[in-house]
């Protein structure tokens, strides 16, 4: 059965500045190139979900500008339901400015724009698709009150929730965590939120315990090239990553989350294989430039899995 995924999240235009390395304080360096692509954590996750075969609905906001119309058309072309994407007449479409190093690592500066106008009223207007969803996903590039409202609404309807607490600069409210079934931070975000930097197995366990003590059912901490740490009420395991040459890590976590939501059964019975599928999708995404342009389709993920068997 095809999953139905509803995403409450951000829509940005990504402006990528290609550099050999990050400049030091006071230093001026030249770009080696510039590229622009559709992005935003919410939009990335929605496209990743749709390309992996899930029926996908988006709840968010864009500005009344060329970037906004471009993003709506892009999401439509991916087969995503955009009836709950509202146009703001006071703020522009969000933008991200990405410093992409030759190593594939990136640093990102966000201009939230219309994304910060996503409110509980937008969530209430999307009550019908939320009630019919297999999973509801949100992240922290839109305001926490909207995320909390979405998860409360989902749990009242018996729908599973997935929280991507990125960027980790907003306080996760007890209400939001209580209604979170699965949380998926990367190691940096998790350490920032818990106050326990991840350096070893003990700190991984401490981070997972922090979230589980606050009502989260399953904790998945992504560790880049080291894999993903998965903690459930019954067990915890480190699942190794697939070894690839990363070109651009922008959107790697979004590729993971969108693919996970499309593959995971709502009863969570196939958690291990769904995480492996998500890892495979993420490993393919980092081998291309840009977030949305590099997100793989389901056929590519399955083909890559067959090649490595």
Each domain of the chain, given as residue ranges in start order, spans 4-307
Beta strands 55-63 and 81-88 are: parallel
Nearest to 153 by CA among 117, 128, 173: 128
Is 64 catalytic? The answer is: no
Q: What is the CATH number of domain 4-307?
A: 3.40.1190.20
- Known binding-site residue numbers: 12-14, 40-44, 141, 186, 222-227, 248, 250, 253-254, 285, 288, 290, 294
pTM score: 0.92
Give 264's DSSP letter. Answer: S
Give 237's DSSP letter. Answer: E
- Known binding-site residue numbers for K(+): 248, 250, 285, 288, 290, 294
The dihedrals phi and psi of 175, each to the nearest 5 degrees, come to -60, -40
Nearest to 12 by CA among 259, 262, 290, 269: 290
Given 81, 122, 181, 254, which residue is catalytic? 254
Per-residue tens of pLDDT for the chain, all 309 residues: 899 999 999 999 989 999 999 999 999 999 999 988 899 999 999 999 999 999 999 999 999 999 999 999 999 999 999 999 999 999 999 998 999 999 888 888 989 999 999 999 999 999 999 999 999 999 999 999 999 999 999 999 999 999 999 998 888 999 999 999 999 999 999 999 999 999 999 999 999 999 999 999 999 999 988 999 999 999 999 999 888 888 888 889 999 999 999 999 999 999 999 999 999 999 999 998 878 889 999 999 999 988 876
Annotate 11-35 with b (16+ C-beta within 10 A) or e (fewer).
bbbbbbbbbeeeeeeeeeeeeeeee
- Known binding-site residue numbers for substrate: 12-14, 40-44, 141, 254
């Amino acid at each position: 059965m095809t999953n139905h995924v509803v995403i409450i999240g951000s829509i940005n235009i990504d402006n990528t500045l290609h550099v050999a390395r990050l400049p030091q304080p006071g230093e001026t360096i030249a770009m080696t190139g510039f590229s622009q692509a559709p992005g935003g954590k919410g939009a990335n996750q929605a496209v990743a979900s749709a390309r992996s075969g899930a029926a996908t609905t988006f709840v968010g906001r864009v500005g009344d500008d060329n970037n906004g119309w471009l993003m709506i058309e892009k999401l439509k072309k991916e087969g995503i339901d955009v009836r709950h994407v509202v146009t703001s007449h006071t703020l522009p479409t969000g933008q991200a400015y990405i410093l992409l190093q030759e190593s594939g690592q990136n640093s990102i500066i966000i201009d939230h724009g219309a994304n910060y106008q996503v409110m509980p009223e937008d969530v209430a207007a999307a009550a019908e698709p939320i009630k019919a969803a297999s999973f509801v996903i949100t992240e922290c590039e839109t305001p926490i009150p909207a995320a909390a409202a979405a998860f409360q609404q989902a749990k009242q309807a018996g729908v599973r929730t997935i929280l991507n607490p990125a960027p980790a600069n907003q306080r996760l409210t007890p209400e939001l965590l209580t209604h979170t079934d699965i949380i998926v931070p990367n190691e940096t975000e998790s350490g920032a939120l818990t106050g326990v930097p991840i350096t070893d197995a003990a700190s991984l366990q401490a981070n997972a315990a922090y979230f589980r003590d606050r009502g989260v059912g399953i904790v998945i901490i992504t560790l880049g090239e080291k894999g993903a740490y998965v903690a459930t009420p019954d067990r915890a395991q480190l699942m190794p990553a697939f070894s690839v040459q990363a070109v651009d890590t922008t959107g790697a976590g979004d590729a993971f989350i969108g693919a996970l939501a499309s593959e995971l059964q709502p009863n969570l019975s196939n958690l291990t294989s769904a995480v492996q599928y998500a890892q495979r999708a993420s490993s393919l995404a980092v081998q291309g430039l840009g977030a949305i342009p590099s997100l793989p389709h389901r056929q590519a993920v399955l083909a890559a899995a067959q090649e490595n068997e």
